[in-house]
Amino acid sequence: MDNTAKIRVKLGALEFEYQGAAAFLEDDLVALMRKLIEFYVEHKAELPTEAPPSQTNSQGPAGNIETSEYSTDTIASKLDAKNGSDMVIAAAANLTLIQKKSTFTRQEILNEMKSAKTYYRASMSSNLTRAIDNLIKAKRINRSSKGEFALSASEKSNLEAKIAQ
């Protein structure tokens, strides 16, 4: 049985997204919703009425994702990340598609992986070099220069399609 749950709540421009243990929804969701509503009521005048256009869930003509709402955690969820290689790809997707970096370093990959608290495990750090090397051999990422990496063109296209779903 799968004990994970996913919920997205939007109240005006205030938005909350959670994916993780179902126990959180059972035990803590009501308290969280009360706090969100209280915050919204207290700060309603200061909040924009709509999300800025850059945070819409749309695709441009070239298929590029034009959104900043995708965290590495969200991308890992969309990719159903199960291991270190999957997390490297989720991190690389965030760095490339969301942060618009053409290349990235091993440290940037690791930092993004660590930001995905639902999926990251400490063992992934010690196996990072092996995961990167395997992804290079599989032609999913490229070594663009010493210490710099980039998503392969085919991997980038595949990720854009998967994330946009």
Q: How many residues does the chain have?
A: 165
CA distance 25 to 23: 5
Q: Report the CATH number that the domain containing residue 114 is assigned in CATH.
A: 1.10.10.10
- The verdict on 45 and 88 lying in the same domain is no
- The verdict on 139 and 90 lying in the same domain is yes
Give the number of domains in the chain.
2
Write the pLDDT tens digit of every residue in 70-114.
Answer: 889 899 998 999 999 999 999 999 999 999 999 999 999 999 999
Write the pLDDT tens digit of every residue in 9-65.
Answer: 776 666 777 777 777 777 777 787 788 778 778 877 776 655 444 444 444 433 445
Q: Range of 117's domain?
A: 72-164
Share of the chain residues as helix, strand and coil, in percent rounded to the nearest 5: 50, 20, 30
- The verdict on 21 and 87 lying in the same domain is no
For 104, how many CA atoms within 13 A lie in the half-sphere containing its CB? 26
In a domain, 59, yes or no: no
- The verdict on 78 and 116 lying in the same domain is yes
